[in-house]
Amino acid sequence: MNEIHEGFKILVMKGSRGRVVITYGTFDLLHQGHINLLRRARELGDYLIVGVTSESYDLQRGKLNVRQPLSERIKNVERTGLADLIIVEEYEGQKIEDIERYNVDIFAIGSDWKGKFDYLKDFAEVVYLERTRGISSTDLRGYLKLGIIGTGRIAQRFINEAKYVSGVLVEWVYHPNEEKAKAFAQKFELSVGTGNLSEFFSEVDAIYIATPHHTHYEYISKGLQANKHVLAEKPMVLSHNQAKELFALAYERKKVLLEAIKTAFAPSFRRIIGLARSRRVGQIVHVDATFTKLISEGRELDPTQAGGSVTELGSYVLLPTVKLLGTNIKASFLSKRGPTGVDIWTRITSLTEGKAATGRVGIGVKEEGDLVIGGTTGYIYVPAPWWKPKCFEIRREDPSQNETYCDVFAGDGLRYELAHFAQLIQQGRIESHLLRPEESIAIAGVIEQFLLGKNVSWL
């Protein structure tokens, strides 16, 4: 490494350095796509500098599930023979310093980051390099090949978040309308967009289901029967028996079935639940969670697509309930209907032995979106938006005894559920301790109770 660095110094001193190109990446599980990108970057100039991200910087920027240590990733880049100089990227803002330090002419990066690094145009030419599509399976040992079912808003956010999860390749999308699938694939530079479900299943190891709520059961069932691991958007299904049946099928097929309630996998929420269970605020007596947003149109207001506040947001407010009160829940509801007939606001009251929870959800009514976990010696307070938790407080009778905790919550948070999903598969585990099957089954049961009108009062 020192010899390469000295060679760069000599090149600059001679005044014949030519065009210097710099690129960056994690380069975990190096495959042909990485090599092709490095080759394209090198072809842009005469001297290529490659920045490899450190473990600490990967955590800071929300890059998850990196499986190879920094030393091994550097060696893999070195073995390609394409880098004249390899450096380590250790902090945000280093790119500008590196460009100035090494008199860089061109900053090159994969086209999946298009637009993100335009701010560097003040310091060097910025080139977004075309990604390699359709990499062969032999080039992807150790990678989870994941396909998306659905092309809506959440699927689009998922694509952007997946870039931050190492060891996962998303190149396939399915929609029953093949034109929509192909348009989505073209927009996000995926290899395959198809309306043929069998063809889609043949290409992937696992699927992410991002379709309207009432379609989840069918897609999960077909995915498991095709021996695919399944990550399904919340609510996973709309009935207790459907959830129970699907987890039994997943267990029989030895496949992971995970409900994508992103909050469950966020670092700060995991700490909140751990501290509450550790009786840091005494015995838990009451949990109060609120999640509301204002929606004026779309499937959320459509009763034929299982729209409404409870189906759309109930999974979130029920999450701390099942984590802290258990799954044997007696629920009742107070709701208000909107013009389309779906509930635009609902208060869910849950009771277990000696404990209670209140969850308020709304798609047509706005409230403060915080979380309060009340105990016999204090309470945990998580400010809005608590479902994207960063900082929270343990508050006591004596304010001088209060404690504040903060964790990273990167991006939209979908990367946390995907990283955990991938880790379960890599480790050969089929059940998550962060969101257990019985907890998802209980959440589905409460939603079903509401849809059936049991213990529901209307304003």
pLDDT in tens, 164-183: 999 999 999 999 999 999 99
Rg, Å, the chain Cα set: 25
Residues 113 and 37: their CA atoms lie apart, in Å, by 13
Query: Between 14 and 138, whose confidence is greater?
Result: 138
The whole-number pLDDT of residue 139 equals 66
pLDDT band with cut points at 50, 70 and 90 for residue 1 = very low
Contact 356, 322 (CB under 8 A): no
How many angstroms separate the first and last alpha carbons of the chain?
71
Domains of the chain are 2-129 (3.40.50.620), 137-261 (3.40.50.720), 264-458 (3.30.360.10)
Helix H or strand E encompassing 34: helix 32-43
Helix H or strand E encompassing 229: strand 229-233
User: What pLDDT, in 10s, does the model give residues 111-129?
Assistant: 989 999 999 999 999 999 9
CA neighbor of 445 nearest in space, from 237, 250, 230, 264: 237
- Beta bridge partners of residue 259, listed in sequence order: 232
Question: Across the chain, which distance is largest between two alpha carbons, in Å?
Answer: 82
Q: What are the tokens at 42?
A: 């090198």
Q: Where are the alpha helices (DSSP H) in 226-295?
A: 240-253, 267-277
The whole-number pLDDT of residue 138 equals 55
The whole-number pLDDT of residue 116 equals 94
Q: What CA–CA distances, in Å, run from 174 to 150, 165, 318, 349?
A: 6, 21, 30, 38
Contact 35, 80 (CB under 8 A): yes
pLDDT band with cut points at 50, 70 and 90 for residue 348 = very high
Contact 324, 403 (CB under 8 A): no
Residue 98 has pLDDT above 50, yes or no: yes
The whole-number pLDDT of residue 353 equals 82
Mean pLDDT (whole number) for 151-176: 95
The whole-number pLDDT of residue 354 equals 87
Burial (0-12, 13-18, 19+ Cβ within 10 Å), 407: middle
Residues 56 and 240: their CA atoms lie apart, in Å, by 42
Residue 218 has pLDDT above 80, yes or no: yes
Residue 15 has pLDDT above 50, yes or no: no
Residue 309 has pLDDT above 80, yes or no: yes
State pTM to two decimals: 0.90
On average, the pLDDT of the chain sits at 94
The whole-number pLDDT of residue 7 equals 45
Helix, strand or coil, per DSSP, at residue 220: helix
pLDDT band with cut points at 50, 70 and 90 for residue 14 = very low
Mean pLDDT (whole number) for 270-279: 97
Mean pLDDT (whole number) for 294-299: 94
- SS3 of 366-411: the string is CCCCCEEEEECCCEEEECCCCCCCCEEEEECCCHHHCEEEECCCCC
User: What pLDDT, in 10s, does the model give residues 368-424?
Assistant: 999 999 999 999 999 999 999 999 999 999 999 999 999 999 999 999 999 999 999
Contacts 24+ apart (CB under 8 A), 171-174: 171/133, 171/134, 171/135, 171/145, 171/147, 171/203, 172/145, 172/146, 172/147, 172/148, 172/200, 172/203, 172/204, 173/147, 173/148, 173/149, 174/147, 174/148, 174/149, 174/150, 174/200
The whole-number pLDDT of residue 90 equals 97
CA neighbor of 379 nearest in space, from 458, 433, 324, 436: 324
Residue 21 has pLDDT above 50, yes or no: yes
pLDDT band with cut points at 50, 70 and 90 for residue 155 = very high
CA neighbor of 251 nearest in space, from 230, 281, 233: 230
The whole-number pLDDT of residue 132 equals 78
Residue 94 has pLDDT above 50, yes or no: yes
Residue 225 has pLDDT above 60, yes or no: yes
Find all residues with CB under 8 Å of 125, minimum gap 6, and list them.
105, 106, 107
- Beta bridge partners of residue 218, listed in sequence order: none
The whole-number pLDDT of residue 194 equals 98
